[in-house]
Amino acid sequence: MQCTKQPSRTRSEELLYIAQRKKVTSLNAKFLGLEGDGDLQFLLAGGDLLKVRSTSWKKTRFFKLQDDCKTLWYESQRTLKSNPAFSIDDISAVRQGRQSEGLQKYTEEQVAPRCFSIIFKGRRKNLDLIASSEEEARRWVTGLEKVITSTKDLDRQQKAEHWIFNCMRKADRNVDDKLSQNELKDLLHFINIGVEDDYAEVLFKKCDTSKSGYLSGEEIERFYDLLTQRPEINVIYSEYARTAGFMSAENLQEFLVQEQREEATLAHAHALIDKYEPDDKVKEKKLLSKDGFLMYLQHPESFMLSPRHASVYQDMSQPLSHYFISSSHNTYLLEDQLKGPSSTEAYIKALLLGCRCLELDCWDGSDGEPVIYHGYTLTSKILFKDAIKAIHEYAFKTSEYPVMLSLENHCNVEQQQVMAQHMRSILGPALLTQPLGDTMPTCFPSPEDLKRRFIIKGKRLNKLEAAFAPEASPVGGDDDVTEDDEAEAEEEEERRKKKKKLKLAKELSDMVVYCKSVPFHGFADARDNLSFYEMSSFKERNALQLAKESASSYIHHNMEKLSRVYPSGSRTDSSNYNPVPFWNAGCQIVALNFQTPCANMSLNQGRFLVNGRNGYVLKPSYLRDAASEFDPVTLTRGPWLKHKTLHVMVISGQQLPKVNTRKTSIVDPVVRVEVYGVPADVAVKQTAYIDNNGFNPAWNQSFTFDVYVPELALVRFVVEDYDSVTDNDFVGQYTLPFSSLQMGYRHVPLLDQTGEPLPSAGLFVHIIVVDA
């Protein structure tokens, strides 16, 4: 919503307009639970802030929170410039002080108390700002954080009501608390429903009981009820509401057992009534109304993802090699790998998404300070020490489990020594520089053993055993090129001919403990000659060939040793490969470009959605057991073969966002259900498209899938805007492990391409899993 110049009004009209705006603001503040809050009032009043883009570009802008308490608007002093705005939902974080790269680079230390940054989701650049005083900066930060937190804390029903209410206010162009027939048509467009004029007229007349030619008061409430009714929920509720038109605890228990396939007790049903029934009189009678039933269905614990799997539920005491590990490639990049910007912000975003293995491409910098960038390209550079500082600050905010720093080392010995000094001084005792325990280890420690520790992955001059025999002299023996160069030798032969032999600083070498990088010369050589801590990296093409042709050998290799898979150098746009075949082969570190939103990145998010999103997921037993004969390609009989039949009914959708922001553009939604896993399980089914309705489309279509290896399978729901001429446009998606599905009637919360929730948007489905 933008502030636009209002037409001239009479004095009385202006007073009425101001009173109505205050009423709207008050209602929105009440929605957020911030009615009368001083910090919210500060944001609503607005004020001047200095916007910083460079050393020379610092300009004053007036910022103000709109009456919807959701949109932050700012104006330029240039009268011809359009006035931009952004939603609170677009903000990832607000950071006080000179914490962003821009503020550190373009401002002086003395202004730090007056600085703050708005960090956006996705690829949008930070908004760096300077207030006129330290107190003003504090109030902006505190106020924005309150609004962001309050918005997040709204349940789906509250978010829906808040959104529809503000769409109504937006449609009410003259702010008279009434809706004309034309304004009602605007409202329908705002909420993503396209209807014929005749139907809009019928709907209007149905609500206009006063025959006044506009809707007001109870008539608007009547229209809202028509708009938000969920006939599919009504049918389910009426089937089990057998106690004077309500659900008793016994009725609810029956629903939970029969439909939701839960082992629910009567006490649990009573607890749900106490938690979700909004009407105190109904609650006193220990009954559940239709509104309470809907609130239960729209709470995250009732969503498709099992709440038991949402927190840490797996054994975290097994060796590192027994886990899939969320891993990033070219972590420093915000965009493509040819000319895109490098940024410490990219490391922060990856860590906050639960990534546990970060890549640092290190090169000689000026003034003796090593830098990070994509070598031989036009990508920008960041200081190595700045990256380490950012990693240190954000490493364990999402997960307490260990972070691996994968060093691609192109620096001379002197700058390698500087790298070692920076890591030792910044990371401190959290940096692992020697094996745990007093004796030479024979296998990896566990994630639990390594909580809040940093592990360095890179080249080492000698064997780890030398740490327990100090008198032993350093032994070389590795190719002295970085592993990615070694793997892509055929593509970079000329470059390597010109490249001088790389020497390794002992200070950096000694920091490599459990992840020593070595070339791969076949599974037999690795079995006979490599220690458990010596690991290889595989370019996607080579890894895919091994996963197809030597899957069993690859799986057994990955039981004891770590494997890292990374994208081909030909992916100059930083696109991603499908990670599933590599997980099927037991590869732990399947590195993706976190900066590139795509279907393959959503599979990665789905894999690590569970277990507290801590970045570590325990591999199935047959990928850890040395006696296992599992092969994902041939799929012989064994304990992994647990043939299931998955029944999915796509019932309806709720408040799907527009793809095109034009008012008249309406989504024609189509839903695709996809299963990923071993080759035998891969399947896709699709609904018909619904014409001109992104608000409450109904499909009621059923699909059946055969899933043979459920522990490796992922289920993905994709919503697109159907187009008969061009490719469909992405609307939203949600991916989760097959084994984490909850059965019964479930809502599916939709995410955008970056993995962020789409407020209020979702699907309503019915899920049944049975033994085939």
Q: Domain boundaries in the chain?
A: 11-153, 157-228, 231-297, 320-459+482-623, 644-771
Length of the chain: 772
Q: pLDDT by residue (tens digit) across 519-560?
A: 999 999 999 999 999 999 999 999 999 999 999 999 999 999
Instruction: Write down the architecture of domain 231-297 according to CATH.
Output: Orthogonal Bundle (1.10)
For the record, the structure tokens of 456 come out as 């360095």
Q: Tell me the Cα Rg of the chain.
A: 29
Greater model confidence, 79 or 354: 354
Greater model confidence, 19 or 523: 523
Per-residue pLDDT at 474? 53
Instruction: Write down the architecture of domain 11-153 according to CATH.
Output: Roll (2.30)
The CATH number of the structural domain formed by 320-459+482-623 is 3.20.20.190
pLDDT tops 60 at residue 602: yes
Distance, in Å, from the CA atom of 509 to the CA atom of 513, rounded to the nearest integer, reads: 9
Per-residue pLDDT at 494? 46
Distance, in Å, from the CA atom of 203 to the CA atom of 473, rounded to the nearest integer, reads: 86
Distance, in Å, from the CA atom of 591 to the CA atom of 387, rounded to the nearest integer, reads: 19
Distance, in Å, from the CA atom of 676 to the CA atom of 710, rounded to the nearest integer, reads: 10
Cα separations (Å) of 27 from 33, 69, 495? 10, 10, 65
- Among candidate residues 162, 329, 557, 766, the one labeled active-site is 329
Q: 157-228 with 644-771: one CATH topology? A: no
- Among candidate residues 189, 309, 374, 410, the one labeled active-site is 374
Distance, in Å, from the CA atom of 705 to the CA atom of 152, rounded to the nearest integer, reads: 35
Instruction: Write down the architecture of domain 157-228 according to CATH.
Output: Orthogonal Bundle (1.10)
What percent of the chain lies above the pLDDT cut of 70?
A: 92
Residue written as tokens 């002299």?
473
pLDDT tops 80 at residue 81: no
DSSP secondary-structure letter at 727? P
Maximum distance among all alpha carbons in the chain?
Answer: 98
Strands (E), 41-175: 47-52, 58-65, 71-75, 85-87, 91-96, 115-120, 127-130
Least confident of 88-92, 471-475, 639-643: 471-475
pLDDT tops 50 at residue 475: no
Least confident of 55-64, 211-220, 273-282, 464-473: 464-473
Distance, in Å, from the CA atom of 747 to the CA atom of 300, rounded to the nearest integer, reads: 9
3-state secondary structure of 271: helix
Most confident segment among 23-37, 657-671, 744-758: 744-758
3-state secondary structure of 330: coil
Q: pLDDT by residue (tens digit) across 54-65?
A: 999 999 999 999
Least confident of 37-46, 165-174, 407-416, 649-658: 165-174
> Do the Cβ atoms of 730 and 753 come closer than 8 Å?
yes
The CATH number of the structural domain formed by 644-771 is 2.60.40.150
374 included as an active-site residue: yes
747 included as an active-site residue: no
Distance, in Å, from the CA atom of 425 to the CA atom of 694, rounded to the nearest integer, reads: 54
Mean pLDDT of 338-347: 94
Per-residue pLDDT at 497? 47
Per-residue pLDDT at 495? 52
